[in-house]
Structure 1
Amino acid sequence: MSKLSEEDIEKRLIRFPEWEYHNNAIHAEYEFENFKDCFSAMSRIAFECEALNHHPDWTNSYNILKISLHTHEVDGVTLKDFKLAEAIELIVEEEDE
């Protein structure tokens, strides 16, 4: 898996308005109605992470979920990160419905 250039990352982020690039990773923050909804989303995301064998750095405080993605093996952002970000977006959208 190849590390993406900053230019490639910025182009790809156009499809991910919730995400931004800094500190060599892509980041998003989501606010849910309550802790239960946040934890439910985290549980669903965890299954996607296992399926993709790619795991985020994340924190949760009550109804706020902060996620950072980068590929440790290349010390940067790869297509693997964007694939997981896409799966996360779909899960969060379903939780909002």
Structure 2
Amino acid sequence: MKKLSEAEISKELEQLDGWEYVDGAIETTFEFKNFKEAFSVMTRIAFECEAQEHHPDWQNVYNTLSIRLNTHDADGVTQKDFQLAKSIEDIIESE
């Protein structure tokens, strides 16, 4: 998987709402009604991550979920990260 340039990353980010490029990864934070709702969405995302064989760095504190994506094998952001980010967005929007 080819590491994307900063220009390519910026162009891809235009298609995602609330994601930013920070220190070699794309990241975002979601806020939910409560912990149960956050954990439910995390579970759905986890199944999608397994299906794509790509796993985020993420953190959950009560009703907040922070997600950070990069491709360790490429030492940066790749199309694989944007594919997962779009899937995550679809899951969030379906809630």
Shorter-normalised TM range: over 0.9
Amino acid in the other structure paired with 1:82: F
- TM-score (norm. length: structure 1): 0.96
Structure 2: any 5+ residue segments left out of the alignment? none
| Distance (whole Å) between structure 2 residues aligned to residue 2 and residue 22 of structure 1 | 18
**How far 1:55 moved relative to its partner?**
0.1
**How far 1:18 moved relative to its partner?**
1.3
Match of 1:15 in 2: 15
**How far 1:46 moved relative to its partner?**
0.2
When the two chains are superposed, the root-mean-square deviation of aligned CA atoms in Å is 0.5
Amino acid in the other structure paired with 2:2: S
1:67 aligns with 2:67: yes
| Distance (whole Å) between structure 1 residues aligned to residue 94 and residue 33 of structure 2 | 13
| Distance (whole Å) between structure 2 residues aligned to residue 84 and residue 76 of structure 1 | 14
Structure 1: any 5+ residue segments left out of the alignment? none
Q: Figure out how many residues of one structure are paired with residues of the other and give that number.
A: 95
